[in-house]
Every structure is written in structure tokens, then in C-alpha cells.
A and B are shown apart, each in its own frame.
Chain A
């Protein structure tokens, strides 16, 4: 059990780290989200599943500032928030790994980890000449990768495009894990990966959870979801059809709820 777990569970009632209430989002006449609520607790992997057009992506975008919900409430650590840009969510410790990865192929691993929040050298070199602390960032990048168990990716000066799909995904996840102090959101992290690479990424997800960092995972892949998720939020027609656990329901049940053939 990690410090974060103790702090939040302890003797008190478990407080959700992130809470969404009645989120509504419409695109013209199309209703993307029709009053969706969601709780995310410390140290859990919450999977979001649903058919195409069920509102998974819209829900995630509203949680991470990529879309602004029409109405509804969003709180982070009990504090009401209104995200207008992805940067706003990031400032609250919510990091997202987008489906298209958002890594810069020609830049090296360390540069990608720190992309958009580069660290400058201390003293006049950093303040006047604005010099980057390249060595420091490379060292920290190595530390972060080691901590995530990606210790074999030690050469952080390799351009990301020289890496395999799984390794790139690992870089993207590492970036989110390094800066996401509260929540890490992964959008279809295994969609483009092979079996072994998928397992590596799923292991990363478990590692993040074991460190006390809650993870929201969007996936189409039922075995993956049932493998790592603690709870499963099922989206259907813009609403939350059910929230189940891998223990309470089978994959067949989940698919049935997803398609409307059954209710929870």
C-alpha cells in the first residue's frame, strides 16, 4: 500500500479523486453525453467501455479539457473545476495519453518526456540565456523510466521514431505518469499494439495503480479491460448504462450491457 492510499483511505471514507456529475455535451443536434456521472477513486483502474458512438471519447475529452461540457459538474479532489483547455486539466495533475500518442517522432525520448515543460539550467545560463538543462532532463527521464520498470529503455537520446509501437506507447505513458500527480487517462493504449507489447502496456497500467495513481482506461479490448480494471464504466447511447466489476460480471455480461441486450 502506498502513501497515497493510506492518506485517502485510512480511517475516513474513501473520497473520489475525480468526480463528474451529470455531464451533458451536445454537438448540434447530436447528443454526445446525456447526463453522465463518474467517480474515480485513488489507486484504482477505471475502464470505460462502450460501442462506437456511445460517448466514451466525448466523456474523456470533457474530463481532460479537450472539450467543454454544456452542463454538469466536475470536481478534482473535492474542488470544483472548469477546464477550458488540455493545459487546464494538466495543471490539476490530470495527464492524458491520446490515442495518436502525441509524441514528436524526430525528438529523442528525453525531449519527448519533457516536451512543453522543458527545464532550464539554474543561474544566469538558464534565466538570461534560457539554456535547457539537457543533462538534468535526461537523468530524470532515465529515473522515471527505471521507476516504471522500463529500465531497458535506458538510452533516452534515441529518437522516438526508432522505437517500436510498444516502446513509443511506454514513452507516452511514462510522460503522463511523470507529470500526472492525480490521474492518468489512457485512450485506447493497446489498440495499435501486438500481443506482447499490449502486455507491457497493461503491466505499466498496473504499476501506476500500485503506486497509488488512479488510471482511466478507454478500450475496446474486453480481455484487456477485464485483465486490469478494478471497475468498469459502461457507456451506452451517451449515458452510463452500468458500473460493474470484473468479479461481479463476465465479459459476455458486459458486452450484453454495452449493446443493450441486458441491463446490470
Chain B
């Protein structure tokens, strides 16, 4: 690491520094420091409380079939949330994730059913569509230095229009597709529970992304770029290359999301998915990832997606109107962002 190993450590100046480290924390700021260090902790607590409360309100809630249903319901949003987390970690935002996913799913379904392309090849082309969309977003963000919000607001509309133009507005049914395309919707038994392939795929993506973000240099650079772009540049990190790779990775994940979506809905429809753009942001924000970048984790986003799923499911089991579910999600978002702001104030 260094060249001057021969020189001994200087002994001066240490006494002064020691004083700096005297603990001056109040219990509240200690809680804040812990939350600050483990961003997935607060959503984990919220999820736990929500599960307990809804379980007490309705004994059907905690049945394995219901819990399995919740996981299937969040599998698509949960997957999109991985892509969204990556982009939000770089202090960006992607309003087009749902539109990209729907575009990819339509392309896969159409070329498979309409043009008779073999299913693996069709999925591969779906991946290319996702990467292409990511490349467009990344190119506009890095080369033209446009804010990601504006770029993806534009591409959101472009992708929605492309989807409708390409599909002619018609839905492709799952029954007409090769088995591989709807495979993500199939379930297999684990004990008494039935787990869907899509949920397993989503979890695999989470494990992979958590590893990449936590254990590789690239992951660390993603955090550094989102935390302080200029500091990252001065530290020798190729900021634009990192940003571009983030948008490409997000695009690839969205293509997998398209596969899961086809399985989950047993169809490829050009009209679904508009809510998913904002739902993925909701999951990420509730999961404790900061919209200001550089802080958060993918596990938090999974918890965020589950929290939304649990609230919707639990409230509907409790017999409350759908509007109350939406209301609850709205409150959750504001509470989550407030907590994030509070945590960010950590200073010694």
C-alpha cells in the first residue's frame, strides 16, 4: 500500500485526537446512527409490525396460501424495484421502468407468437430491448447531462407509444404462448406452500444484486457516484461509465421483470404496468433508500415492496375499500421520506 514502510509512526498529535472521539451521543441520536448504518432496519420493523397487526385483525391473513399470494403479487414490482434501486442510488430516478418492462414483454410475446420465433430467442430479444432502453436513458443522462427525471419522463411516453404502435393495442394471451414464456407463472410445492417460479427468480436477482452492490468495487462506485459525484470523479472513478452501466443493468433487470410479468398475468398486455412506474419508486422509498442517492440497499426495496403488498392485502382482508389501501400507501411514502430526512441529519 505504501512506500515508506521504513519510517516509524510519529507519536505526536494523538492525545488531541483522542478527545475528539469522546462519545457525546444521546439515546435518540444513537437510534438514528443505527438506522443510518442499516438502512433496511426501519422497513423491516414496519413490515414486522404490519404482519403482526394484520394477523391479529384477520386470522386468514397469516395462512400460508395468503402469504404465498402476497409474494406472487409483489414479484413484478419487487423486480422492477431492483432496477429502480440501482438508479436511485446514483441520485437518479427512473419513471420509465414499467413502460420498458411492458415494451419488452410485448416484443417477446409478439415475436414468439406472431412470428414463431423460438421462445429462448424471443426472451433474448426481450433482453436486448431492455438493454436498448437502458442505453437510451443512460446515454441521455451521461452525454447530454439531462436530469434523469426529465429523461425518463420523456422516454416513459416514448416507450408507451412504441408499445401501442408495435402491438396495435392487442393483448397476447398466455395460452397461445410457448411454455417457457409463461414459466415464471408456474408454481411448485414446498411442503404445504406453493411457490411461483417468478418469486424465486425475483429473490435470485435480489441475492445477486445485493452481492454486487455490497461486495464489488462496481457496487461501491455506484454508492460513491450517488453520494457525491464530484468527489467520486476526483477519487478517480469513471462517473459516466458507472452511470451508463447502472442504466444498462437496470434495463436487463426490467427484461427479466417482463418475463415474470408475462407469467404472473398469463398474458402480455400493452395497457398494464403504468402504475408500476410509481409503485417501484414507492417500494424503494419505503425501503429506506434515499432519493438523494448514495444511501440504501436492495433488501430495503424488497421489504418496501412487501410492505405495500402486505398493506394492500391486509386492508382488503379487513374489508376496507381499495381507496383506503391507496391512502395507506400514500401515508407510508411520506413517513418513509420523513424518516430518511431525519436519518440523513446524522452528524457528530
A interface residues with partner B (beta carbon < 8 Å): 2-4, 86-87, 90, 93, 96, 98, 100-107, 111, 115-118, 120, 129-132, 134, 140, 143-144, 146-153, 159, 161-164, 166-167, 170, 177-179, 181, 196, 199-200, 203-204, 207, 210-213
Contact = CB atoms under 8 A, between A and B. Distances in A.
Given A3-B6, A116-B221, A152-B14, 18 more contacts: A104-B223, A107-B224, A115-B237, A132-B217, A148-B9, A149-B9, A149-B13, A152-B17, A152-B21, A153-B21, A159-B37, A162-B348, A166-B20, A177-B2, A178-B2, A207-B10, A207-B12, A210-B7
B31 interface: no
27 contacts: A86-B234, A104-B228, A107-B224, A116-B221, A116-B237, A117-B236, A118-B217, A118-B220, A129-B216, A134-B215, A143-B1, A151-B9, A153-B17, A159-B346, A161-B347, A162-B33, A162-B348, A163-B348, A164-B348, A166-B20, A167-B17, A170-B17, A203-B10, A203-B12, A207-B10, A210-B10, A211-B7
Contact of A144 (B1, B36, B220, B227): B1
A107 B217 CA distance: 13
Contacts of A204: 13
A86 B236 contact: yes
A104 B224 contact: yes
Best-surrounded residue of A106, A143, A152 (most CB of chain B within 10 A): A106
Contacts of A146: 9
A151 B14 contact: yes
Interface in B18-59: 18, 20-21, 33, 36-37
A2 B227 contact: no
Contacts of A181: 2-3
A115 B347 contact: no
Contacts of A117: 236
A36 B312 CA distance: 69
Best-surrounded residue of A102, A134, A199, A213 (most CB of chain B within 10 A): A102
Given A104-B224, A161-B347, A200-B17, A2 B7 contact: yes
B334 interface: no
A144 B7 CA distance: 12
B208 to A, nearest CB: 11
Given A131-B215, A161-B347, A200-B17, A147 B9 contact: yes
B16 to A, nearest CB: 6
Interface in B321-339: none
B4 interface: yes
Given A116-B237, A150-B17, A161-B346, A131 B216 contact: yes
A166 to B, nearest CB: 7
B4 A213 contact: yes
Contact of A111 (B11, B220, B228): B220
B10 A167 contact: no
B215 A87 contact: no
A102 B7 contact: no
Nearest to B234: A102
Contact of A167 (B14, B20, B228, B232): B20
Given A140-B1, A152-B17, A153-B17, A98 B234 contact: yes
B279 to A, nearest CB: 26
A199 B20 CA distance: 13
A140 B14 CA distance: 19
B11 A106 contact: no
B295 A106 contact: yes
Nearest to A211: B7
B11 A149 contact: yes
Contacts of B14: 149-152
A118 B218 CA distance: 9
